[in-house]
Amino acid sequence: MANNATKSKNKKPNWFRRVGAKFKETFSELKRVTWPTLPTVLKTTGVVLVIVFAFLVVVTGVDSLLGWLLSLL
């Protein structure tokens, strides 16, 4: 009989309760987040786009150079 009592204690809640608890926990955490302002978002997005464009230019240049060197062979 004691074995059944320990089994029911260790039994996990059903799937819907666990998912509901996870959503509740997630929304609780999201309320504590310090969200950036719109100017900050626009500024950092601009920085990211400039860096991505710079890497695009460098990678394209290296690719073109290696293609040209390969064509010489």
Q: How far is CA 49 from the centre of its chain?
A: 18
Question: Of all helices (H) and strands (E), which one includes residue 67?
Answer: helix 38-72
pLDDT for position 9: 62
Write down the pLDDT at residue 36. 94
Q: What is the pLDDT of residue 2?
A: 52
The number of folded domains in the chain is 1
What is the extent of the structural domain holding 37? 2-72
Query: Average pLDDT over the chain, rounded to whole?
Result: 88
The pTM of the full predicted model, rounded to 2 decimals, is 0.57
Average pLDDT rounded to a whole number, residues 12-39: 90
CA-to-CA dists, residue 3 to 8, 11, 12, 13, 14, angstroms: 9, 12, 16, 19, 21
